[in-house]
Chain A
């Protein structure tokens, strides 16, 4: 199995503050890994570092074969990040936002139709401006962008936040389908009970580092 993510004593700074203070992490292809920990522990920072958005200044950090300490930009096209913000343009419609993201990623336009259908964003909703949508609907659009782009590595930051029960199940289904297709998924959540069943294993993040031994999780709920 090849390694998708490999971090050794990775340090990353935001301004002067070390958000990552020596992270060790290994993720293999096709795995679904849960990052759990309290707010401020560094889960988001790990995801952003994997996406090439946060610069790793010390230690080793390789994602999809790219050395992030040397060139953090090379990996960006190949990962998809679902963060706290949606990255959508408020004044454009749902369709146009998707079309723009796909065009930027060099993916065919047709991929958007399938994604919109999966997320229930068809018809009049597709032609609505993002500014007029509810927070939950905007989240679904952001997920649709991710699904349409279908990158090799999915990075999900608190993906269940802002979604109702049906949409949470929908998201879970999408994550499982992605893993079945051979995509690698890393999700961060402070709700270990909700996200636990989705993952093959979980790691705990605290104080800007990964603590303790990785634990396997399956269908059992992890305390």
Chain B
């Protein structure tokens, strides 16, 4: 494998492109605007989908990290998957925060609401940003993998705790949740929203596959250098 593309990614990529295009067309022009929210309701075709993608990616990262830490299933494959998912997850997390913020701004005039879900997402963003920073640190790949895996699993385990906390906090202040502001959707709107999930899902898979393969290539680069390094090391001794 010399690049990261192959038939699978090209297939996925085209499928993703098509579904995104159809969703955009349906979402922007075909479906009607909402009685209460006006044109703003179209964000429902973006925000929930990217949010789900973000949680799926982070969840995948945590599970892969767990698989890596478990001695019986330890393998570089899981570490690579964890790294790739985390990075892609951070992208989708950023999108979630931005779309959530825009929605809130347009609905209630504020850029940020301490909505439980949004706050939790912001925390997750910070935690996984830390994870990405950790991945850039040096040392042996094995050591780095273990460090990151622990962070990822712990971060994921805290999601229920954080969720409880932010939800209780929310009820204390009786703020509006974004989802409560959702209109009852049915018919074409419902189908478009479901289509958006499919579109973003395909996009996620496509990105993940590419990113994972980049990791594989990096590892191979390191391994092939290893045999050369061993030979050079022994040659050092022979020269003396």
Contacts and interface: CB of A to CB of B under 8 A. Distances in A.
Interface of A: 11, 13-19, 21-22, 38, 40-41, 206-209, 211
B1 interface: no
A94 B236 CA distance: 41
Nearest to B240: A206
Given A17-B229, A21-B230, A209-B234, 7 more contacts: A16-B226, A18-B233, A19-B233, A206-B238, A206-B240, A207-B237, A209-B237
Q: List the 8 closest A-B pairs by CB distance, nearest first.
A: A207-B237, A206-B237, A207-B236, A21-B233, A207-B234, A18-B230, A208-B233, A15-B140
Contacts of A13: 140
Contact of A207 (B139, B226, B235): B235
Contact of B237 (A11, A17, A19, A41): A41
B140 A208 contact: no
B138 A18 contact: no
Nearest to A17: B229
B139 A208 contact: no
B225 interface: yes
Given A38-B240, A206-B240, A15 B234 contact: no
Interface in B183-240: 222, 225-226, 229-230, 233-238, 240
A208 B237 contact: yes
Contacts of A38: 240
A14 B229 CA distance: 12
A136 to B, nearest CB: 31
A47 to B, nearest CB: 17
Given A16-B225, A16-B226, A21 B140 contact: no
A24 to B, nearest CB: 13
A41 B229 CA distance: 14
A211 B140 CA distance: 27
15 contacts: A13-B140, A15-B140, A16-B222, A16-B225, A17-B233, A19-B233, A21-B230, A22-B230, A40-B236, A206-B237, A206-B240, A207-B233, A207-B234, A207-B238, A209-B234
A18 B139 contact: no
A12 to B, nearest CB: 11
A211 B235 CA distance: 12
Given A207-B234, A207-B235, A208-B234, A16 B240 contact: no
A17 B222 CA distance: 11
Contact of A16 (B229, B235, B237): B229
Given A17-B229, A18-B230, A206 B139 contact: no
Nearest to B223: A16
B211 to A, nearest CB: 22
Nearest to B140: A15
B139 A15 contact: yes
A18 B237 contact: no
A21 B232 CA distance: 10
Given A13-B140, A15-B140, A16-B222, A206 B230 contact: no
Nearest to B226: A16
Nearest to A14: B140
